[in-house]
Amino acid sequence: MASTTSPITAAPARTSRWAQYFALTKPRVVQLIVFCAVIGMLLAVPGVPPWPSALAATVGIWLVASAAAAFNCLVERQIDRRMARTAWRPTARGELSDAQALAFSLLLGAAGSLLLYAAVNALTMWLTLGTFVGYAIVYTVILKPLTPQNIVIGGASGAMPPLLGWAAMRNDVGPEAMLLCLIIFLWTPPHFWALALYRTEDYRRAGLPMLPVTHGARFTRLHVLLYTLVLFAATLLPFVYRMSGWIYLAAALPLGTMFIGYAWRLWRHYSDALARKTFRFSIWHLALLFAALLIDHYLSPWIG
């Protein structure tokens, strides 16, 4: 029988060097980050934001987020080799050397930071760099291998994108931006724990103390449910604070109810298939919630 710490062998695939570097940036993850940052930009000002600074902010945040993703792949290359979900990554397969991955990460981070400083503002640059350090160092290097609360604590850096977008347009950090951060912060644990539930053996093999590994599946499922309840309350705060109107509320109520419904079924009648559905729905939940904020932002003034 194979050792529980043996690496997963991924099927070889011939990819170009450019494709390997692109894979390091975790494009699907970074896409959601940039989406939330752009929503923060659009919500920060009435009407359409000034497109030169908005474009520069979008590209700058994308570059630094991609740098953090590449650094994460570098640091976790040994762990990635032991997980079916990540064994295909170029760093895990040895297609890119440590020096190449590090140089790529530093290049993206430097380019993004310079662009933000020169074309946006210093506050956005420092906040974006702080997010890089929070994810790439505090979460990846320190928290992830140390505590089952890694997702909860590390979620603070993952919640920053809308605040970055807000700061890019207004050069400050307003309460509205903090509400957006709070929503993502509370969304992160049930999102990742749903994934961890059907990938428990992957995390156990990799030696990571994810909640299902350290406290069991039932404990994790209960916490997914509890977090969705708290998240539901947080998603109502933009309406309560009068940051948004009835259009947003009409979307937030059913989206939150559906997320709670998934979490309830996950707690009562678990299956890996349901955990996968919950994980996928959580992505749609956040994307549609922020899209509703944006639609409300532009339509509410017209309908009173």
| Domain assignment present for 161 | yes
Angle between helices 161-170 and 27-44 (to 10 degrees): 40
pLDDT in tens, 223-265: 999 999 999 999 999 999 999 999 999 999 999 999 999 999 9
Would you state the pLDDT for residue 87? 81
Looking at the fold, whether 164 and 231 belong to one and the same domain comes out as no
Mean pLDDT of 62-79: 90
How far is residue 19 CA from its own chain's centroid? 22
Would you state the pLDDT for residue 245? 92
**pTM surpassing 0.85?**
yes
The helix or strand, by DSSP H or E, that contains position 3, with its residue range, turns out to be none
DSSP per-residue codes, 250-304 = HHHHHHHHHHHHHHHHHHHS--HHHHHHHHHHHHHHHHHHHHHHHHHHHHHHHH-
Looking at the fold, whether 134 and 200 belong to one and the same domain comes out as no
**Angstrom distance (rounded) from CA 39 to CA 304:** 22
CATH number of the structural domain spanning residue 25: 1.10.357.140
Would you state the pLDDT for residue 9? 45
**Angstrom distance (rounded) from CA 9 to CA 88:** 8
Residue 187 has pLDDT above 90, yes or no: yes
Q: Which residue has the higher pLDDT, 139 or 186?
A: 186
Residue 117 has pLDDT above 80, yes or no: yes
CB within 8 Å of 196: residues ≥ 6 apart:
203, 210, 211, 212, 213, 220
pLDDT in tens, 143-160: 777 788 777 777 788 899
Which domain covers residue 108, as residue numbers? 17-172
Residue 179 has pLDDT above 70, yes or no: yes
Nearest to 141 by CA among 62, 64, 77: 77
**Angstrom distance (rounded) from CA 281 to CA 276:** 9
Q: Which residue has the higher pLDDT, 10 or 131?
A: 131
Our count of domains for the chain comes to 2
pLDDT in tens, 285-302: 999 999 999 999 998 777
| Domain assignment present for 236 | yes
3-state secondary structure of 162: helix
DSSP state of 149: T
Residue 8 has pLDDT above 60, yes or no: no
Would you state the pLDDT for residue 206? 77
Residue 278 has pLDDT above 80, yes or no: yes
Give strand ranges (E) for 35-157. none
Q: Are 42 and 290 contacting, i.e. CB atoms less than 8 angstroms apart?
A: no
Looking at the fold, whether 240 and 113 belong to one and the same domain comes out as no
Mean pLDDT of 53-57: 96
